[in-house]
Amino acid sequence: MTQPLKIDFVSDIACPWCAIGLSSLQLALTRLGDAVDAQIAVHPFELNPDMTPGGEAIVDYLGKKYGRTPEQIAETQAMIRERGESVGFEFGPRSYVYNTFDAHRLLHWAGIEGKQLPLKQALLRAYHGEGKDPSDPAVLIEAARSVGLDADKASAVLESGDYAQEVRAEERQYQQMGIQSVPSIIFNGRYLVTGGQPVEAFEQIVQQVLAEA
C-alpha cells in the first residue's frame, strides 16, 4: 500500500549540505519506490541575509564567520565534493557566497506554478555545480526557463519585488520554530531531521515515520 508523506525542506541555495541532503533524500525515496507518495515543499532560510551585492569571497566569509583557515576551508570543500559524488551531486568551483533572497522569491512563485522542486534543483546546480551567482537576475531567469517556467513572468517577479513579504513571513515562522541551521527536514509536520544525512539514514527515517502514521 502506498502511503502519503509530506516533507517540508527548509534550506538555502547557498548551503552545500542542502544540495547533499536533497539529493540524498530523493535517492532514499527512490529506493522506497511505491511504498511512499512523497510531496516535497521547499521553504526559505538565508545563511547570508546581510550579504552585500556582488557577494564575498568564500575564504574571507568563512574565515570571519567560523575562524577557519584557507587550508581548513579547502579540506572541508574536498569532503563536501566527496559526499556530493556519493549521492550524485557534482560540486564545481565556488569562490564566492551571495545573497539568495531574490532566489527564494522566485522559488515561492515557482511553487504557485507547480515547478518549485525542479527550480530548487536547478538553482543548486547553478550555484554549487557551475559557480554561478544566484543573486544575478539573468542566472535566476535562465534557471526558471530550464525547468519550463515562463522567462518573462520570472523576470517580472524579480523586477517587481513580488512575494518578499511571503518569504519573510516563512523565514520568521521557521526561526520561531527553533530552526537555526539547514537543511532542516520536517516529515508529516511532526518529525524534524537536520543535516545532509546519508541515503540509508533517510530511508530508515521515512520507514519509521510511515510506520507511525
pLDDT per residue, tens digit, the chain (213 aa), is: 899 999 999 999 999 999 999 999 999 999 999 999 999 999 999 999 999 889 999 999 999 989 999 999 999 999 999 999 999 999 998 999 999 999 999 999 999 999 999 999 999 999 999 999 999 999 999 999 999 999 999 999 999 999 999 999 999 999 999 999 999 999 999 999 999 999 999 999 999 999 998
pLDDT at site 187? 98
pLDDT at site 52? 87
- Is-contact 63 70, C-beta < 8 A? yes
In terms of Cα–Cα distance, which of 174, 191, 180, 199 is closest to 42?
174
φ, ψ at 3 (rounded to 5°): -110, 135
pLDDT at site 83? 97
Angle at alpha carbon of residue 5, lines to 145 and 125, rounded to 5°: 30
What is the rounded distance in angstroms from the CA atom of residue 202 to the CA atom of residue 213? 16
| Helices 101-112 + 164-176 axis angle, to 10 | 100
What is the rounded distance in angstroms from the CA atom of residue 160 to the CA atom of residue 184? 30
- Is-contact 94 128, C-beta < 8 A? yes
Count CB neighbours of 180 within 10 A.
Answer: 10
The two beta strands, 184-187 and 96-97, are: unpaired
pLDDT at site 53? 84
pLDDT at site 202? 98
* Residue 171, C-alpha cell as written in the block: 523565514
Domain residue spans of the chain:
3-208
Q: Does domain 3-208 fall into CATH 3.90.1010.20?
A: no
What is the rounded distance in angstroms from the CA atom of residue 149 to the CA atom of residue 136? 17
Q: Is 161 helix (H, G, I), strand (E, B) or coil?
A: coil
| Helices 16-32 + 199-212 axis angle, to 10 | 60
